[in-house]
Each structure stands twice: as C-alpha cells, then as structure tokens.
Structure 1
Amino acid sequence: MMIIDGSLGEGGGQILRSSLTLSMVTGKPFAIENIRAGREKPGLMRQHLTAVKAAAAICGAETRHAEIGSTRLVFEPGRIAAGAHVFNIGSAGSTSLVLQTLLLPLALADAPSRLVIQGGTHNLAAPPFEFVARAFLPLQARIGFRVSIRLTRPGFFPAGGGEIVVEIEPSAKLEPLILETRGALVRRRIEAQVANLPFAIARREVVHAKEMLGWADAELAPCQIDGAPSTGNVVLIEVEHEAVTEVFTGFGRQGVSAEAVAASAAREARDYLAGAHAIGLHLADQLLLPMALGAGGRFTTGPLSDHTRTNITTIQRFLDVPIRTHSLAEGCAVELLAAS
C-alpha cells in the first residue's frame, strides 16, 4: 500500500485527485493522510468526496474513511468500467475538478463513456467550464484523447445547481504534446457573464478590462446567461494563438466591485502576453497528467507554481516518468518522457 502525504507542497485537493487518477490507471492502491492539510478547512469536502465515490464507481474500488471531513483515505482500485455515469456533487463543488479526476482513466478504457456531473460549473479556485472547453480539451485532442463537453445548465458559486455532459471515446494513437511557442495571435476576446444580475455589471467589467489591456471595442462580449438557478458573474479573457488558447478568469462575489473582478483577470492576461512562454500557470499544472499518461512531450511556461511542483512529485510516486525542468530567461521548460 503506497502512503501519500496530503500535506505535501501546497497541501490541497489536487494531491488526492491526481492520486485517484493514477491509481485507477496503474491499479496501484494507496492510502493518503493529512488530506488538504494546507487548507483552512482540512479533510474531504463534498467535491472531493464526489471525486472519490465517482472514481470508486468507475473502477469498482474498495475505499475506507470516505466521508465528509475525513483527513485519511484508503483506495484500492479494481477494473475500469466504461459506460454511462451520473454524479451529483450536491453543492457548488467544481464539476471540472471531478471531471479531471475521471477523464484519463475513461479515455484510456476500451469503450465509450458518457458522464453527467452536477454541481458548480463556475467556481472560485477551480477551472470554469469555458477554460476546460476552450483551453484544456483542445490540447487533450492533440495528444489523442477524444473528449467532447457541453454545458446544459450553468451553476455559479455558492449555489451550484449546474450540469455538464461529457462524451469520452477510446483514445486514438497518443502523440507527444510539443508546446514551445504560441505561434501567431489569432483572436482576443473579453467576455463577462452575468446570471440573474444587472447587465450593467458585465458592461462595466468588459470596459474596465479593455482599458487595462488596450484592446478594441470589437473584442468585448458582455452577456446575460439564461437558465442559471442562482446569481453569478464571471469574466473570461480568451487569448487564442496558433498553438494554444488561454482563458483567464475573474469571479464576481459579494462585496467585490465589477472593476476589481475584471482587473484580476486582466492582470493575468497582461502578464501572460508580456512573456514569450507557450502556456500559462494553470495549464502547466493541468497538462502534466495527460502528458505523463500519454506520450510525453515538452512545453514552456512561466515560473513553476507550488501546485505544479506538487503534481510532479505525486505523478512520480505512481509512474516511472522522468520529468525534467529547465530554467529559462523568463520562466521554465518542462519535459516529460512517456510512462514506462
């Protein structure tokens, strides 16, 4: 039984999610202790527990200590069963993070799967639906993972109530992912969504982001979202280059001005555009697992986050995958060989 320390590095839920994915694919059981020790409320929250139960459901795993608030978990995987599954987080917990736990094991299975995941689709500290659909999944397709996703109902923090539907086909031939340069700029867009809130909020946000970035009015897209069961607001700044699309986000919340929400996303976009590295902070972290379980590859990014370093350590507990990092003038190059 492999023992994982959940307080490692940034001590968040990613250690648990990556361990679940890797355990399902490799068949290696693990016990994790000190789950989310680095968070204000340690232990399993609803979205983490949903990920555990969902992982157990698709591979027939035996689990122990799988309950809200638990700081320890034992997970003994069985055989992955592709097919149709519905998982309800029961809160505004992130549907995207539950999806990322299940995606690769099902993509590497020998039959199609269909996932319906209910909960939050636009959450603080988690990739929103648009990031997954526009930035993350197109790169998975380049590796050979065949996945489509649609948003059937938006669910904003803190009420949730959203739903995504994901279709996963058995993987095609897996190819190395090489992302050393962005290529030419193709498109820029500042989008602000409001649900059950005044449209003026979205308009203020796109105007403020435009002023910070110096973009044109034609690149602004304020919009009213229909069908959300609660109020919600998100700013999405999309930058599409030939090789990669990045999406930078800011989430509206009570007591924070529209201008402050827009500014948080605009600063991230501005910092990325000021550099020459191919991918941003969040994609760097999220590409490690598909590349490690795929055919490897390499990419350039900014300075590595604690999140990314922790994920590298977790991956190397399960896989014999050399992951090399090299300092560059403005950031870092990361190289992965295929799993042996």
Structure 2
Amino acid sequence: MITIDGSEGEGGGQMVRNSCALSLVTGQPFRITNIRAKRSKPGLMRQHVTAVEAAAAISGSECSGLTVGSSDLTFHPGKAQAGDYRFAVGTAGSTGLVLQTVLMPLLLADGPSRLVLEGGTHNMLAPPFDFIERCFLPIINRMGPRVSARLMRHGFYPRGGGRIEVEIAPAPLVPVDCTRRGDLLCVGAQAAYCGLAGEIPQRMLDRARKDLPGWNAEDFAIRKLPDDQGPGVILMLEARYQEVTEIVSGFGQLGVTAERLGKTAAARMRGYLESDAFAGPYLADQLILPFVLAGGGTFTTVKPSQHLVTAIDIAQRFTGRTVRLEQQEGGCHRVGVE
C-alpha cells in the first residue's frame, strides 16, 4: 500500500483526487494521512468526499475515513467500469475537480461513458468549465480518446446548482509533443454575471482592457445570465493559438474590487503572452496524469507551481515512471515523461 503524507508538498485536495485516479488505473491501494493539513479548514471538504465517492462508484472500490472533515483516508481500488453516472456535489464545490478524479480511469475503461455532474461550475480555487472544455480536453482528444463536455447551467459560489454533461469515448493514451503553441489566432475577454449590478462586470473589463493595450474594443464582451444562476461574476481572458488555448480567470469575491480582479487577471495573461511556454500553470497541473499514463510525451510550461511539483511526485509514486522537470532558456520549463 502506498502511504502519502497529505501535509507535504502542495498539501491540498489535488493529492486525494490524483491518488484516486492513479489507484484505479494501477490497481494499487493507498492511504493518505494529514489531509489538507495546511489549509484553514483541514480535512476533506464536501467536494473531496464527492470526488472519492465518484471514484468508488465507477469501480466498486472500498474506502474508509470518507467523511467531511476526515484527515485520514484509505482506498482499496476496484476496476473502473464504463457506464452512465450522475454525481452531485451538493454545494458550490467544483464539478470540474470531480471530473478530474474519474476521467483518466474512464478514458481507459472498456466502453463509452456519460457523466452528469452537478455543483459549482465557476468558482474560486478551481478551473472554470470553459477552461476544461477549451484548454484541457482538446489536449486529451489529441492523445486518442474523444471527450466532449456541455455546460447545461452555470453554478457560482456559494449557491452552486450548476450542471455539466460529459461524453467519454475511451482509447489508449498516445504520447504527444506539446512544446509549440503555433501562431496566435485570436484573443478575447468575457465577463459573465448574474444577480449583480451590470456595472461590476463592466468595471472588470475596463480595467483589464487598460492593462491589455494590444487588445481591441471588440475583443471585450459582457454576458448576462439568468438571475437564478447566481449571484456571481467571472472574468475570463482567452488567448487562442493554433495548438493550445489559455484561459485566465478572475472570480468575483466579497471585499475585492472589480478593478483589482481585472488588473490581476490581465497581469497573469500578459505573463503567459510574453512567454513561449505551451501550458500555463493550471493546464500544466492537469497534463501530468494523462502524460504519465500515456508513458511518454513532453510539454513546456511557465514557472512550475507547487501544485505541479506535487502532481509529479504522486504520479511517479503510483506508476514508477520518471518525470523530468528542466528549466530551458528564456524561462520556460520542460516537462518530459520517460
């Protein structure tokens, strides 16, 4: 059994999600102690419990310690089975992070699957649905499987209530090279909101536009959603290249001005545009599992985050494969699976 100290490295829920996914694929049981010990509210939260429940449901796995607030989890994997599944977080917890837990095992199952996930779709501390659909899944589809996702209803923090539907056609994962973006095709900014005054998303866009002087007025748009899907607001800045798309987001938060959110998002997008890296920090985190399970492949990224380093460590422990992280000229970092 693999034993993991949840207080090491990034120390968050990513360790639980990735361990469940890798356990189902490799057949190795694991135990995690000190779960989320570095967080203000340690232990499993509702979205983590749902993610582990989902992993168990698609495979008949057995686990102990699976309760909200638990700091110790033991997981004995079964075998992932294709099928139709529905999982509800019950809060604004991220549907995308639940998907992250079960996607890799279902990509390697013996038939197609369909998922309905309910909860948060656009909330803090998790990639928004748009990022999953337009940044992450296109890379997965280049590797052999076919995955499509549809947003049926937005779910903002704290209400939740969102819904996404995912269709999975499995296939062996094939190594790919993701080191070149290709030409820049277009850029765009959208502020989606509901249940709030319209001047809030406008202020976010105005500040982002000020800090992105090369973008044109027609690149910025506001989208008003039905009030019952909120309240909430998100700013998404998108850069689409021939080979990859990057989306940087800023979520509305109490006590944080619209101008500050717009400024921060624009600064992050400028950092990506000024680099030559293929993957931004969030895409890099999510590419580790498919690349390791493919048994090879290379991508470049910006300065490695603690999330990325921890994802590499967990992947190596379950698979025995070597993942090399090397700094390149110009500030990029190369991630290669051997």
Shift of 1:145: 2.4
Q: 1:287 to 1:228 in 2, by over 3 A?
A: farther
Residue identity over aligned pairs, in percent, reads: 48
1:221 matched to 2:221? The reply is: yes
Residues 149, 164 of structure 2: 8 Å contact kept: yes
Residues 295, 321 of structure 2: 8 Å contact kept: no
State the distance in 2 between where 1:174 and 1:102 align: 15
* Cα deviation code 1:222-279 (max 9, x no counterpart): 1101264320100000000111100000000122221112112111101111111111
Residues 238, 246 of structure 1: 8 Å contact kept: yes
Shift of 1:122: 0.7
Residues 195, 227 of structure 2: 8 Å contact kept: no
1:211 matched to 2:210? The reply is: yes
User: Which residue of structure 2 aligns with residue 139 of structure 1?
Assistant: 139
Please give the secondary structure, in 1, of the residue aligned with 2:20.
helix
* Cα deviation code 1:147-172 (max 9, x no counterpart): 1101111000111111111111122x
1:12 matched to 2:12? The reply is: yes
User: Which residue of structure 2 aligns with residue 180 of structure 1?
Assistant: 179
**What residue identity is the alignment partner of 2:95?**
T
State the distance in 2 between where 1:242 and 1:170 align: 25
Shift of 1:5: 1.2
Shift of 1:64: 0.7
1:332 matched to 2:333? The reply is: yes
Shift of 1:207: 2.0
In the TM superposition, 1:112-123 aligns within 5 A as 112-123=112-123
Shift of 1:185: 0.5
* Cα deviation code 1:299-338 (max 9, x no counterpart): 111111111001111001100212111111313111113x
Q: 1:227 to 1:104 in 2, by over 3 A?
A: farther
State the distance in 2 between where 1:259 and 1:145 align: 41
* Cα deviation code 1:205-233 (max 9, x no counterpart): 22211110111101111110126432010
Residues 155, 228 of structure 1: 8 Å contact kept: no
In the TM superposition, 1:293-312 aligns within 5 A as 293-312=293-312
User: Which residue of structure 2 aligns with residue 32 of structure 1?
Assistant: 32
Shift of 1:118: 0.8
Please give the secondary structure, in 2, of the residue aligned with 1:204.
helix
User: Which residue of structure 2 aligns with residue 46 of structure 1?
Assistant: 46
Residues 162, 228 of structure 1: 8 Å contact kept: no
Answer with 111-120 or 295-304: which moved more. 295-304
Residues 177, 295 of structure 1: 8 Å contact kept: no
State the distance in 2 between where 1:30 and 1:236 align: 37
State the distance in 1 between where 2:227 and 2:155 align: 9
Shift of 1:182: 1.2
User: Which residue of structure 1 aligns with residue 82 of structure 2?
Assistant: 82
Please give the secondary structure, in 1, of the residue aligned with 2:237.
strand
**What residue identity is the alignment partner of 1:187?**
C
User: Which residue of structure 2 aligns with residue 56 of structure 1?
Assistant: 56
**What residue identity is the alignment partner of 1:112?**
P
State the distance in 2 between where 1:144 and 1:184 align: 24
Shift of 1:74: 0.7
In the TM superposition, 1:273-288 aligns within 5 A as 273-288=273-288
User: Which residue of structure 1 aligns with residue 192 of structure 2?
Assistant: 193
**What residue identity is the alignment partner of 1:5?**
D
In the TM superposition, 1:163-174 aligns within 5 A as 163-171=163-171, 173-174=172-173
State the distance in 1 between where 2:315 and 2:30 align: 13
**What residue identity is the alignment partner of 1:178?**
D
Answer with 132-141 or 176-185: which moved more. 176-185
TM-score of the two chains, using structure 1 as the length reference: 0.96
Shift of 1:201: 1.9
Please give the secondary structure, in 1, of the residue aligned with 2:67.
coil
State the distance in 1 between where 2:197 and 2:294 align: 45
User: Which residue of structure 1 aligns with residue 244 of structure 2?
Assistant: 244
Please give the secondary structure, in 2, of the residue aligned with 1:60.
coil
TM-score of the two chains, using structure 2 as the length reference: 0.97
State the distance in 2 between where 1:275 and 1:322 align: 26
Residues 143, 177 of structure 1: 8 Å contact kept: yes
Shift of 1:75: 0.5
State the distance in 1 between where 2:244 and 2:226 align: 29
State the distance in 2 between where 1:85 and 1:227 align: 29
State the distance in 1 between where 2:173 and 2:68 align: 37
Q: 1:154 to 1:281 in 2, by over 3 A?
A: same
